[in-house]
Amino acid sequence: MTIAPLQALPLDQLRRRSSTKWRTYPEDVLPLFVAETDFPLADAVTQRLRDALDLGDTGYTPPDPGLRDAFAAYAQRRFDWTVQPDRIRSTCDVMMGVVEILRAVIAPGDRVIVTPPVYPPFYDCVKEAGGVVERVPLVDVDGSWALDLDGIERSLAAGARAVLLCNPHNPTGTVHARAALARLAEIAAAHGAVVVSDEIHAPLVQPGVPYTPFLAASPEAAEIGYTVTSASKAYNLAGLKCAIMVTASEQTAAVVRALPPEVEWRTGLFGALAGVAAWSQDSDAWLDALLAALDRNRRLLAELLAEHLPEARYRMPDAGYLAWVDLRDLGWGDDPAGRILRDARVALNRGPTFGDEGHGHVRINLGCAPEVLTEAVQRIAALRG
């Protein structure tokens, strides 16, 4: 059955929003940077929030707002992943969960592996947790990105204590293979290390692409892994502040249970209410329509670049709505997003913020109308002269 793509809202309506995407730059700039999307919310989410407003339901978040059961059912339905609800705890956002878990499992000065090019806050979160960033970049294997498992093993053997994983990976949209995740868990377990997996982009894996939650990759992964995730990226709920920390063993569950109560108190009530609605079956059709829209746009970007910017190198992401594009052959320097913003009036994420591997690259947000994406690429191509 063909699923009709979700339709983005018109620009004049979007420009009335007050979020970062629409308030950072003047109106002549097309904003394709921060991870917000241009689609209407899922109906179930809108209705749940509207009901809360009608009731004046704006108080403190209760100990169990329904997130545990909602996510466990969602994980089973969408990922074939069995999660025990009592091994889920909430917090404000994914990066806060990452920091608090790292603080609990490393000592000050311990090295934490990241796999660049990677989500820029990873670097700051490791430092905030008292760790030291150890870079083990992704490797290119037959035209696809993959974890450098040999490099990770060397770093762990040399004393690194944790791996901060992005699964699926941001900004490349790579979905790590089950075998690679199982091997990562085996390596980490052998060296007494842990893996903290940011899985916020998991709902956005394209149909037909096998996806494995880290904790489900192997018995070793279940023993040494922590997953932090949220409905915020897929369902455009970042401002409502809610994430969950998931464990699969008694040892790791004990670590999360021992986190200070304030970690859970920081969960936003509206974020929790919206998350429960997003993870319900009532929102599945909306998510499927969103995935169809993103599939259309990731393919459209390939066509647009081939036609207008043939020097650009782009691999279609298997997950998410973020495209990692190599513009080095255009000769626009290490940070082409700066020139693109100034001269084309298109805001993209700056490649170098993702690590040294991002020099000459940009990250493009595909969560928009096809017409917006088309105009953005045409504006950028006009800079070629």
**Residues 56, 337: Cα–Cα separation, whole Å:** 43
Is the pLDDT confidence value at 229 over 90? Answer: yes
The predicted structure's pLDDT at residue 78: 98
Which CATH fold topology does 46-281 show?
Aspartate Aminotransferase; domain 2 (3.40.640)
Mind listing the pLDDT tens digit for each residue in 8-22? 999 999 999 999 999
Residue found by looking up tokens 């939650």 in the block: 213
Q: What is the pLDDT of residues 253-295, one digit of tens each?
A: 999 999 999 999 999 999 999 999 999 999 999 999 999 999 9
The dihedral through the CA atoms of 335, 338, 341, 344 has a sign that is: negative
Tell me the percentage of the chain whose pLDDT exceeds 70.
100
Q: Round to whole Å and give the CA distance between 95 and 92.
A: 9
Two structure tokens written together for 139? 């490797």
In whole numbers, what is the pLDDT of the chain averaged over residues? 98
Q: Mean pLDDT throughout 173-194?
A: 98
Read off φ and ψ for residue 132, nearest 5 degrees.
-120, 130
Q: Give the pLDDT band (50/70/90) at residue 385.
A: confident
Overall pTM > 0.95: yes
CATH number attached to the domain at 11-41+283-384: 3.90.1150.10
How large is the average pLDDT for residues 201-227? Answer: 98
* Strands 111-114 vs 225-229: parallel, antiparallel or unpaired: unpaired
pLDDT tens digit sequence for 125-181? 999 999 999 999 999 998 999 999 999 999 999 999 999 999 999 999 999 999 999
Region 184-199 average pLDDT: 98
Check residue 174 and give its pLDDT.
Answer: 98
Where in the chain are the domains?
Answer: 11-41+283-384, 46-281
Omega of the bond leading into 62 within 30 degrees of 0 (cis): no
> What tens digit of pLDDT does each residue of 72-122 get?
999 999 999 999 999 999 999 999 999 999 999 999 999 999 999 999 999
